[in-house]
Amino acid sequence: MIENNTIFLIPLMPLVGFLINGLLGKGLRRSTIGMVACAMPVISFAVALSLFIKFSQFGLECDLTFRQIMIPWIGVGSIGVPFGFAVDHLTIAMTLMITGVGSLIHIYATGYMSHDRSPERFFAYMNLFMFSMLVLVLADNILLMFVGWEGVGLCSYLLIGYWYEDILNAKAGKKAFVTNRVGDFGFLLGILLIFALMTGNGTPSLSFAKINEVIPKFAPVTYEVPVIGGSIGAVTLICLLLFVGAAGKSAQIPLYVWLPDAMARPTPVSALIHAATMVTSGVYMIARLAPVFMASPAALSVVATIGAVTALFAATIAVTQNDIKKVLAYSTISQLGYMFLAMGVAAFGAGIFHLITHAFFKACLFLCAGSVMHAMAGELDMQKMGGLRKWMPITFWTMLVSTMAISGWPLFAGFFSKDEILWKTLEKGMTSQQGTLFYVLYGIGLLAAVFTAFYMFRLVVLTFLGKPRMSEETQKHLHESPSSMTIPLMILAFLAAVGGFMWLPGVIGHGKFAWFHDFLAIREPAAHGAHDMAGAEWTSLALSVALALGASGLSYLVYTRGRSAVEKLAKTVYLTRAMYRFSLNKYWVDEIYEAFVIKPIYYGSIALWLFVDVVIIDGLVNLAGILVKWGSTIFRNLQTGFIGSYAVTVLVGVLVVLWYLILQVLK
Amino acid sequence: MLSNIPLLTTIIFLPALGGAALLFFKREQDREMKIVGLIFSLVTFLISLALYFKFPGGAGFAFVEDRVWIDAFNIHYKVGIDGISLFLVLLTTFLTPICVLASFTYIHKREKEFYAALLFLETAMIGTLCAMDLFMFYVFWEAMLIPMYFLIGVWGGERRIYAAIKFFLFTMVGSLLMFVAILYVYNAARPHTFDVVTLYTALEILTPKEQWWLFLAFAFSFAIKVPMFPLHTWLPDAHVEAPTAGSVILAGVLLKMGTYGFLRFAIPFFPGALVHGFTIPVLGVDANFLGCFTVLAVVGIIYGALMALAQDDMKKLIAYSSVSHLGFVMLGLFALNVEGVTGGLYQMLNHGVSTGALFLIVGILYERRHTREISEYGGIARKVPVFAAIYMIVTLSSIGLPLTNGFVGEFTILLGAFMADPWYAVFAASGVVLGAVYMLWLYQRVMFGKLNPANNDLTDVNPREIAYMVPLIVMIFVMGVFPGLFFRKMEPSVDYLLRGVVRERLLSAGAGARKEVVSRWTAEACAPSESAGKTVTDR
């Protein structure tokens, strides 16, 4: 632990940018607004870079942490949580990615949003997002991470609903926030359970360092599960609760539904929040708590399974979507699935590696899509595109490079990172006791890779190649985007092309050209057995390459030559038609949620309100009122005001008393 | 010189003095009346700030004034504040000038009486919070009812009479039971006394059975005021009909009187009633009040949230959200540990700030459009950007986003509840999800989408409205980022009030309650040992 007093500058700068644009933005010129918004993440990047240099001065292999504890935050009873930041290798890698890619996207956005009505609001939100995201990764304790966690969710909500005049956008924003809240429900309970255990251990702290040290010791503790029966390990429970949160934020089954809808927002937002940074925070959280997760093999298996299944599931949907951003959205879900698969096989380094390369190529892909939309006046439907290569060469080439990267073409970034994950899965299958599961997951991962290459090349072909399918009118306005947009594209495409050389596979680099791996050095379990598995690794590599190239080629052929044949297949043969329908309609998951979760809660509450509040409770209250009224009506009749009736009453009374006295005497 | 002035008495009666002064104004002098009302409430607030800075800390009462009032029954005029009432007094004096300011253009009839009623109400509320004599407490407690009754009944909406009577009867029924219990308590104490601090220890002689009945009587009265499910149905009606200022005071302070009552009287007076179980007569089921009230609190959280989902009227929606939020407060109080109770106390303040702000926001819209129907709005964010920003911040505070006040309260409550029994926290946390649903949905329906032409002429907030919203916004962030400013002064007093509970638990269990709770979670393998888990190697 080394104290460092500059860390706070990294999140502070975007916060300052947010305050300037948010409070004073109305009076500022458009160019000033953009300048302020872009300068802040760039400064943060510079500060992060200076920290990174400090790390390298100590030697990259040296495991150290810079820390800055500022003021106390929540302190009551046994809990005491400060505002504090900690930076280790994992953090600095994330921070550089976030501020670096973030800066590029901000610059791009100055071009993209040049015609928007209220740029100050847009850039204020973007800066606020950067602040939250940086708090999330820099946080020294899990509660402060939760601050960033909710903060990015809020910014996502605000930016999805940025064009709120269209109620669909506003609804998508709310859907994102609420789905994330469902995840946060798990996250919050996980934090509470962690704190209960930490208190039990006599170390009531929520700092990651302490948690990673103490919580794994509780692995043997089990709780009984009520109703269902059986028992669950304390650490497993914590991991699963946290994973619910991760699945919400990182759009995994069953909480992924918000991400495709979230594509309504301005495209730089999609690139920044919903490709490069925010959606990866679930992966980061697991990597951050790697020692805790490693103490629960059961939880890891769940993470791996959900990840692999999501990777394939989302890829099968992406294949049939016609909305260019929807394809990329499902692609993101699918790629996040790979990252969780990596986490689940305890290949934390590989997962983070893929997280970083994915940030490069997916941000590039989204920005390219934005560039296309910019030229096409907001058109999203790929069926109305085609042939754009002629007008937008830079966009085309950068997109092609990123597509090759995500599809896993040899030497491009995605090839190295994705294959590292697949190889680690296979390795786990070969070495672990429940090998079958991991063999299956490996197969799923491979299949998803095939789909990935297929739908990505479909996207490129439909958009940029073939005959133009847009109207003459649109064609006249087609143009390449301004340099503020194309320069970030080229930088990102460059990174997508060469980013993989940070970490060459063991069989190629023989452990030498893998500085990123060494740098992360996340506590991965040492390779078991230590057999020579080079042969298997080569086979796995070759298989991936063959499948990626094959699928890309097939896709190219199908969508340049045989589109009509495919369409025919999708409409006539019973089996393929059914599969096509399932994929096109996203397996009707949204409709199922609507019918079985949302509607019942809404109509249930109305029924409950009418029945319990209005009928039962208020009914009883009003009944009491009415009874009193009736009662008094009866007694009121006695007071008629007629002397005669009073006399009769008195007489009756006297007679009753007399009768009583006589009875007493007779006894 | 200043130290000779009885600070609390000044703060209690200054507003009433202002109210009395208003009565001498002529009806046409509405401008002057408003200014006088504002000045009196503002000065009261400024003086009350001295309480915060001069509060010595620690568990005891400060600024105590003690005079004999009715000697024959040992009734005193005794006031003082501790770390609990301090902040509630501040909340009251903070919200009253805001209410006065918010009523300037809202109230058009009988203005003199309106501002006078508001100021008299402030006196009654502060008196209730400062009272250290049970009899005096009861007097102020009942005195609060009268101005509030008129605020709803005179300046309210269409069904104001129904709402006012419902409000009055509900609270009155509870109060009477409490009065009987107060007399019993007085009689049971040796020597007979109404002195609250003395009673904290003097009531240890009560038998468990006495404690149960007395707790029930007090709790019934307070539970109506909170209001706890199922005694809450007066609240939506009262809120919907009340004028903005009435709603703010009702939600902001009056409801807190219920939770404050639990914390100040019911729990520390009769801790035995919470710790020891009893058998329900006819049913023959074993139960205890702790379980009953915690379950009701959790039910209130979820039920209130579901009710809020079903509403078409903004004020009714917010009223039901209050039921849900107050459920959180009760959950915290009945966690009976420092985290939970302090969190509950904090959430009382949060709710006063956030829900007060929400009612003001509805008031701003109502003044312009004269409707509270959600469907009448839509798409107005473009028309009123500043309003939209303020409303968004308040919404976020209400759903407990971190760095706003709501999160600190909710988190500490959940933490306390989790330590008491994790299942309560599990159910309560689902209320957090629902809270986001109904609040964001409300915001979306009001602010987003296509502009309803009827709202075309809507104007943004004016300087006066900004002036009373800004302090609330500032508080939202101050309380979210620097909770230590509050917790530090609250904690010793909370500890002190929980003493009785700890004692009873020791008596009944023979072991530290806290240890017992914790040990359930760490089970047998508590001691860290090498074989206990996989040892973790760095890299």
Summarised one tens digit per residue, pLDDT across range A606-642 is: 888 888 878 788 888 788 778 887 888 877 777 777 8
Contacts of A154 in chain B (CB under 8 A): 396, 401
Cβ-defined contact of B230 to A617 (cutoff 8 Å)? yes
Which sequence spans correspond to the domains of chain A?
Answer: 141-524+534-584, 589-666
Q: Find out whether the peptide bond into A254 is cis, omega within 30 degrees of 0.
A: yes
Beta bridge partners of A141: A207
Beta bridge partners of A224: A231
E strand residue ranges, B269-428: 278-279, 286-287
Cβ-defined contact of A76 to B307 (cutoff 8 Å)? no
**Of B118, B132, B134, B344, residue with least CA distance to B242:** B118
d(CA B404, CA B387): 18
**Of B394, B410, B444, B233, residue with least CA distance to B335:** B410
User: How many beta-carbon contacts under 8 Å exist across A and B?
Assistant: 200
Question: In this structure, is residue B513 part of a structural domain?
Answer: no
**Of B336, B254, B250, B325, residue with least CA distance to B293:** B336
Cβ-defined contact of B526 to A79 (cutoff 8 Å)? no
Contacts of B307 in chain A (CB under 8 A): 605, 608-609, 613
Beta bridge partners of A3: A67
ipTM of the complex: 0.86
Question: Which residue is closest to B312 within chain A, CA to CA?
Answer: A606
Helical H segments across B285-313, by residue range: 289-309
Cβ-defined contact of B444 to A604 (cutoff 8 Å)? no
Tens digit of each residue's pLDDT (9 = 90 or more) over A241-294: 999 999 989 988 888 888 888 887 788 888 888 888 889 999 999 999 988 998
pLDDT, residue A551, reads 84
Query: Min CA distance, A384 vs chain B (Å)?
Result: 28
Query: Min CA distance, A291 vs chain B (Å)?
Result: 7
Instruction: State how far the alpha carbon of B233 is from the alpha carbons of A85, B156, B228, B319, B359, in Å.
Output: 47, 17, 9, 10, 18
Contacts of A182 in chain B (CB under 8 A): 433
d(CA B148, CA B145): 5
Instruction: State how far the alpha carbon of B208 is from the alpha carbons of A93, A457, B180, in Å.
Output: 62, 77, 18
At A67, which helix (H) or strand (E)?
strand A66-76
Residue A623, classified by CB atoms within 10 Å of its CB into exposed (0-12), middle (13-18) or buried (19+), is exposed
Instruction: State how far the alpha carbon of A17 is from the alpha carbons of A145, A147, B273, B492, in Å.
Output: 21, 19, 56, 40
Q: Token pair 């002057």 is at which residue?
A: B32
Contacts of B432 in chain A (CB under 8 A): 181, 184-185, 188
Cβ-defined contact of A219 to B528 (cutoff 8 Å)? no
For B363-374, give one letter per residue: b (16+ CB within 10 A) or e: bbbbeebeebeb
Query: Min CA distance, A374 vs chain B (Å)?
Result: 24
Contacts of A212 in chain B (CB under 8 A): 536
Contacts of A174 in chain B (CB under 8 A): 440-441, 444
Question: In this structure, is residue B95 part of a structural domain?
Answer: yes
d(CA B360, CA B26): 29
d(CA B206, CA B209): 8
**Of A493, A289, A264, residue with least CA distance to A394:** A493
Q: Which amino acid makes up residue B258?
A: G
Cβ-defined contact of B401 to A150 (cutoff 8 Å)? yes
Residue B245: domain span? 2-506
Query: Min CA distance, A71 vs chain B (Å)?
Result: 9
Given A77, A223, A523, which is nearest B539 (Cβ)?
Answer: A523
DSSP assignment letter at A8:
T
Question: In this structure, is residue B528 part of a structural domain?
Answer: no
Residue B453, classified by CB atoms within 10 Å of its CB into exposed (0-12), middle (13-18) or buried (19+), is exposed
d(CA B475, CA B472): 5
pLDDT, residue A374, reads 82
Whether A378 and A488 have beta carbons less than 8 Å apart is answered as: no
Question: Which residue is closest to A608 within chain B, CA to CA?
Answer: B307
Interface-testing mutation among B229, B235, B303, B309, with chain A (most A C-beta atoms within 10 A): B309
Q: Share the mean pLDDT of chain A.
A: 84
Q: pTM for this one?
A: 0.88
Question: In this structure, is residue B519 part of a structural domain?
Answer: no
Contacts of A200 in chain B (CB under 8 A): 518-519, 521-522, 526
Instruction: State how far the alpha carbon of A278 is from the alpha carbons of A11, A202, A628, in Å.
Output: 15, 34, 62
d(CA B136, CA B281): 35
Helix (H, G, I), strand (E, B) or coil at A202: coil
Given A165, A167, A188, which is nearest B414 (Cβ)?
Answer: A188
Whether B332 and B358 have beta carbons less than 8 Å apart is answered as: no
Contacts of B538 in chain A (CB under 8 A): 63, 523
Helix (H, G, I), strand (E, B) or coil at A392: coil
Contacts of B530 in chain A (CB under 8 A): none
Contacts of B338 in chain A (CB under 8 A): 76-78
Cα-Cα-Cα-Cα dihedral sign, residues A127, A132, A137, A138: positive
Contacts of B402 in chain A (CB under 8 A): 146-147, 150-151
Cβ-defined contact of A602 to B447 (cutoff 8 Å)? no
Cβ-defined contact of B483 to A76 (cutoff 8 Å)? yes
Cβ-defined contact of A171 to B444 (cutoff 8 Å)? yes
Whether A148 and A280 have beta carbons less than 8 Å apart is answered as: no
Given B415, B430, B440, which is nearest A177 (Cβ)?
Answer: B440
Q: How many structural domains does chain B have? A: 1
Whether A249 and A281 have beta carbons less than 8 Å apart is answered as: yes
d(CA A30, CA A42): 19
Rg of chain A taking only CA atoms, in angstroms: 32
**Of B49, B138, B145, residue with least CA distance to B92:** B49
Cβ-defined contact of A601 to B306 (cutoff 8 Å)? yes
Cβ-defined contact of B309 to A602 (cutoff 8 Å)? yes
Query: Min CA distance, A640 vs chain B (Å)?
Result: 29
Q: Could you give the count of Cα atoms lying within 13 Å of A101 in the half-sphere of its Cβ?
A: 36
Tens digit of each residue's pLDDT (9 = 90 or more) over A410-426: 888 888 888 888 888 88
Interface-testing mutation among A63, A74, A145, with chain B (most B C-beta atoms within 10 A): A74
Sheet holding A2-3, edge to edge: A2-3, A66-76, A79-87
Cβ-defined contact of A608 to B307 (cutoff 8 Å)? yes
Q: Which amino acid makes up residue B218?
A: F
List CB contacts of A375: < 8 A, sequence separation 6 or more: A388, A391, A392, A395, A477, A478, A479, A480, A481
Cβ-defined contact of A604 to B306 (cutoff 8 Å)? yes
E strand residue ranges, A491-643: none
d(CA B429, CA B150): 38
d(CA B124, CA B150): 14
pLDDT tens digits in sequence order for chain B, 539 residues long: 455 678 899 999 999 999 898 888 888 888 888 898 899 999 999 999 999 998 888 888 888 888 888 888 888 899 999 989 999 999 999 999 999 999 888 888 888 888 999 999 999 999 999 999 999 999 999 999 889 888 888 888 888 888 888 888 888 888 888 999 999 999 888 888 898 888 888 888 888 888 888 998 999 999 998 888 888 888 888 888 889 899 999 999 999 999 999 999 988 888 888 887 777 777 767 777 888 889 999 999 999 999 898 888 999 999 999 999 999 999 999 998 899 999 999 999 999 999 999 999 999 999 888 888 888 888 888 888 899 999 999 999 999 999 999 999 999 999 999 988 888 999 999 888 888 889 988 998 888 888 888 888 888 888 999 999 999 999 999 999 999 999 999 999 998 888 888 877 777 765 444 444 444 334 333 333 333 333 333 32
d(CA A253, CA A312): 11
Question: In this structure, is residue B523 part of a structural domain?
Answer: no
Given B230, B430, B450, which is nearest A165 (Cβ)?
Answer: B450
Backbone angles phi, psi at A504, to 5 degrees: -85, 150
